């Protein structure tokens, strides 16, 4: 990296999820925290010699070699496991330089500071990882997605065997008459593990009551008599059961509260809803497919006189942004759940969910709003909210 490339990097934006500016070298523990933070996320850069406003201050050249030795020592001895780093020294003038530390996305997550704490990147800051983030990081480092994790306490007897046979016959054209054949298929699809313990996806799709083991997979619906969430709902339901059952129950609720109009087109009586049922259903399917199952919170569907809100727990997966979602950028957080929904014909596999919803609503003159809600105390995105306007 030369001085022009450094200036271009700084001018492209201030500190964010991937870039941290430091005017001077912090303490060893603080430095280890930043290394761990980026290694647990998707990598990033720490630039020493630049202040928080992006102004290049520089570091005295005579100090650079000592600082590089200190950086190497911190990455090797104060992070567990050691964090891989690459550094560049960019000359500013004959007396000053800037040190750019590149931290790749770590292969051995979760990473900890030697005192036993793990950190992750959240916006432009580092924060302690939650217990469930520890679990998710550990599974990702082993190439295991969280929807493939076996659920403690559940057994094969908790599965609805008759439903599973019908499911595989309908969506996979497999006639599985014996339990052994059924178990083999479910093992291969990672719906149960080698010890016949159901995984998260296995329970969600094939248990009569997944919420017995996964209470966060409940979907809460609430109808509000006014447009203000402060007014208590006049109807609230906890939707439970396997995915197909919950979608059927959600559809019934939408049919009760979403108004229809009748219009004569030609000689036919055409029924039109304020919000197309296909859009409402697709919005809930997207929430099931893409929510963060490490977050111990339910999907929530709020129905107001002027809008419907679908609250999906967790932030956006990987590098996906709100603008990217509108363009169809597609990174499944739960590949196994997504593949089962795709078999059922409920998702397309090409990331058309949000763009399709926006296009359909636009055709009938209705607006769609996407937003992320931050937990101010934790400093993290707690949920994604999709708003469909009725008026």
Question: What is the pLDDT averaged over residues 144-170?
Answer: 94
pLDDT exceeds 60 at position 50: yes
How do beta strands 268-273 and 260-265 pair? antiparallel
What integer is the mean pLDDT of 369-383?
79
Separation between Cα atoms, residue 102 and residue 46, nearest integer Å? 7
Specify the pLDDT at position 266. 57
CA distance 214 to 296: 9
> What SS3 class is residue 192?
strand
**Contact status, residue 138 vs residue 186, Cβ threshold 8 Å:** no
> The whole model's pTM is what?
0.73
pLDDT, residue 146, reads: 87
Read off the pLDDT of each residue in 52-59 and give the average, rounded to a whole number.
86
Is the per-residue pLDDT at 265 higher than 60?
A: no
Average pLDDT, the chain: 89
| pLDDT, tens only, 268-326 | 656 677 999 999 999 999 999 999 898 889 999 999 999 999 999 988 876 688 888 88
What does each C-alpha distance from 248 to 234, 244, 251, 277, 289 come to in angstroms?
21, 6, 5, 12, 16
E runs forming strands in 250-295 = 260-265, 268-273
Q: Pick from 17-31, 137-151, 152-166 the range whose average pLDDT is largest.
A: 152-166
pLDDT (0 to 100) of residue 6 = 80
- Position 8 confidence tier, pLDDT thresholds 50, 70, 90: confident
Please give the Cα distance from 206 to 225 (Å, whole number).
35
Contacts of 166 (CB under 8 A, 6+ apart): none
Tell me the domains of the chain and their CATH numbers: 3-130 (3.30.950.30), 146-212 (no CATH), 218-389 (3.30.565.60)
3-class SS string, 112-163: EECCCCCEEEECCEEEECCHHHHHHHHHHHCCCCHHHCECCCCCHHHECHHH
Would you place residue 18 in the very low, low, confident or very high pLDDT band (cuts 50, 70, 90)? confident
d(CA 206, CA 197): 13
pLDDT surpasses 80 at 356: yes
Q: Of the ranges 39-48, 101-110, 159-168, 365-374, which is most confident? A: 159-168
- pLDDT, residue 344, reads 95
Of 325, 383, 387, the residue nearest 352 (C-alpha): 325
Question: What is the residue whose two structure tokens read 């996906």?
Answer: 320
């Amino acid at each position: 990296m030369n001085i022009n490339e450094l200036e271009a990097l700084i001018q492209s934006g201030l500190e964010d999820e991937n870039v941290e500016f430091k005017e001077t070298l912090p303490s060893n523990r603080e430095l280890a925290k930043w290394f761990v933070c980026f290694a647990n996320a998707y990598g990033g850069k720490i630039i020493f010699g630049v202040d928080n406003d992006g102004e290049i201050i520089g570091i005295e050249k005579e100090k650079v070699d000592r600082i590089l030795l200190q950086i190497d020592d911190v990455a090797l001895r104060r992070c567990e496991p050691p964090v891989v780093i690459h550094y560049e020294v960019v000359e500013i003038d004959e007396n000053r330089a800037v040190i750019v530390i590149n931290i790749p996305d770590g292969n051995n997550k979760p990473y900890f500071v030697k005192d036993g704490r793990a950190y992750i990147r959240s916006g432009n800051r580092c924060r302690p990882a939650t217990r469930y983030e520890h679990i998710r990081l550990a599974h990702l480092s082993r190439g295991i997605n969280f929807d493939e994790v076996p659920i403690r306490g559940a057994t094969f007897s908790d599965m609805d065997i008759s439903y599973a046979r019908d499911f595989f016959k309908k969506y996979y054209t497999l006639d599985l008459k014996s339990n052994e054949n059924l178990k083999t298929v479910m093992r291969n699809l990672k719906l149960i593990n080698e010890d016949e313990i159901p995984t998260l996806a296995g329970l969600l799709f094939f248990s009569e009551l997944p919420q017995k083991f996964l209470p966060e997979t409940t979907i809460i619906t609430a109808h509000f008599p006014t447009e203000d969430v402060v007014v208590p709902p006049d109807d609230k339901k906890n939707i439970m059961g396997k995915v197909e059952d919950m979608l059927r129950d959600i559809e019934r609720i939408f049919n009760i509260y979403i108004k229809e109009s009748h219009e004569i087109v030609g000689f036919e009586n055409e029924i039109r809803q304020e919000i197309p049922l296909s859009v409402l259903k697709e919005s809930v399917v997207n929430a099931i497919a893409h929510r963060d199952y490490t977050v111990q919170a339910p999907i929530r569907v709020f129905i107001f006189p002027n809008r419907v809100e679908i609250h999906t727990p967790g932030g956006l997966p990987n590098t996906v942004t709100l603008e990217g979602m509108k363009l169809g950028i597609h990174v499944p957080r739960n590949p196994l759940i997504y593949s089962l929904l795709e078999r059922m014909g409920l998702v397309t596999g090409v990331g058309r969910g949000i763009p399709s919803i926006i296009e359909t609503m636009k055709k009938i003159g209705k607006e769609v709003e996407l937003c992320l809600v931050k937990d101010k105390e934790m400093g993290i995105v707690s949920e994604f909210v999709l708003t469909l306007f009725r008026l």
